[in-house]
Structure 1
């Protein structure tokens, strides 16, 4: 008589987790964040509502993890910015891609939803800074340090301030929907930031 193996609980849990995160992303695109509920996510994922609450305290936390999982899949071995030796060209490549993502309605819906939750949820904001923002910021700084070593940025440049000057106008325009997020705008931001931080 063949021996029957016990079900692999960890594999089943991972399948459920993946289904929940996928369902959350899909539903935001279909019905929007305001109408998104834990019940709807559970129904789409084919799990009980209690399964979701066992792993996440709120729908904002589910959305955050769904985006984190997506970024981890995309990044693979880790976040690395292009380094062709030309800091202006590399930053334009990165900022154009960022602007294009923000301008893509399907991509920006979950990001906008996450930002809405972060405003009122300190724990979620801390998780976002630790797991998403900090690794990306460090990858950007590594590229900027390379530019400093090459003499393309001032050796004493405040890299946190540089990133604020570069990204804050893009984020502001996106948040307020106050203008186009196109290549021309991305390029202008790069050129403006570099003028302020190049060696004198």
Structure 2
């Protein structure tokens, strides 16, 4: 008998119940407090039923996202022709999301799933991280073309700095995030990205 024909086929209703249980628990209690045992209990199945399908809660989160049971509002940066203003608007929107516990829970779950290894991480990158990074790079490149950012700006380094900071902010308690942080972060970024000018009477260092 072919190996693919052995055993009973997976029950789609059980799969859905598990994924929805993970969604409900993560948005209500957070990724860190969610356990396989709690997922199984909420779905009305045994713990081993869950483990036969997914090896970890990170894998369950990845599947829930890919299947559309979980998601985040990943709005593309606006394009008004002023890249600096557009970047500020996009950062403000993201920082506001960090004040919403349900959004933070999903971001943390996605981060854990992305570092869990395997094909799930690659699929998540292709669907979320990759396109989001490409949009950010496009905005930064537009800023260079507009003269709003330095001509020699390292676009990849700038995108990594922005993405890394936002992910770090998602890892701390939502109540600690304040509106002024988006403005402060933008000011700090722009100090490093705006065109450099030399004081009158001085020459650039070699």
Using the size of structure 2 for normalisation, the TM-score is: 0.68
1:131 offset after TM fit, Å?
A: 3.3
The superposition leaves residues 41-87 of structure 1 with CA deviations (integer Å, 9 ceiling, x where unpaired) of 45645778787667644321121233453448x56xxx632011122
CA distance in 2, matches of 1:188, 1:29: 29
- Give the Cα separation in 2 of the matches to 1:37 and 1:135: 30
Residues 170 and 181 in structure 1, CA contact (< 8 A), matched pair in contact too: no
- Identify if the C-alpha distance between structure 1 residues 166 and 37 changes in structure 2 by more than 3 Å, giving closer, same or farther: closer
- Cα gap change, 1:143 to 1:40, in 2 (>3 Å): same
* Alpha-carbon spacing, 1:94–1:44, altered in 2? closer, same or farther (3 Å): same
Mean CA deviation greater in 50-59 or 161-170: 50-59
**Offset at 1:34?**
4.7
Displacement of 1:141 in angstroms is 0.8
**Which sections of structure 1, spanning at least 5 residues, go unmatched?**
1-11
Tell me how many residue pairs correspond in the alignment.
Answer: 185
Correspondences of 1:10-159 after superposition (within 5 Å):
13=12, 20-34=18-32, 36-38=34-36, 40-41=38-39, 44=42, 56-68=54-66, 69=68, 70-71=70-71, 80-116=76-112, 118-119=114-115, 121-123=116-118, 124-159=120-155
CA distance in 2, matches of 1:35, 1:176: 15
Instruction: Provide the secondary structure at the position in 1 that maps to 2:176.
Output: coil
CA contact (8 A) 1:19 1:45 kept: yes
Counterpart Cα distance in 2 of 1:173 and 1:31? 19
Give the equivalent residue in structure 1 for 2:190.
194
Aligned counterparts of 2:43 and 2:161: Cα–Cα separation in 1: 41
Instruction: Please give the TM-score of this superposition, normalised by the length of structure 1.
Output: 0.70
Q: Is the 8 A contact 2:71 2:106 kept in 1?
A: no
> Take 1:176 and 1:36, find their aligned partners in 2: how far apart are those partners?
17
Post-superposition shift, 1:122? 2.6
Name which of structure 1's ranges 86-95 and 165-174 shifts more when overlaid on structure 2. 165-174
Q: Higher mean Cα deviation, 190-199 or 162-171?
A: 162-171
Q: Normalized per residue, which structure has more helix?
A: 1
CA distance in 2, matches of 1:153, 1:31: 41
Which ranges in structure 2 are unaligned for 5 or more consecutive residues? 1-10, 197-206
Q: CA deviation at 1:173?
A: 4.0
Question: 1:88 touches 1:191 (CA, 8 Å); kept in 2?
Answer: no
| Distance in 1 of aligned mates of 2:35 and 2:163 | 32
* CA displacement at 1:92 relative to structure 2: 1.5
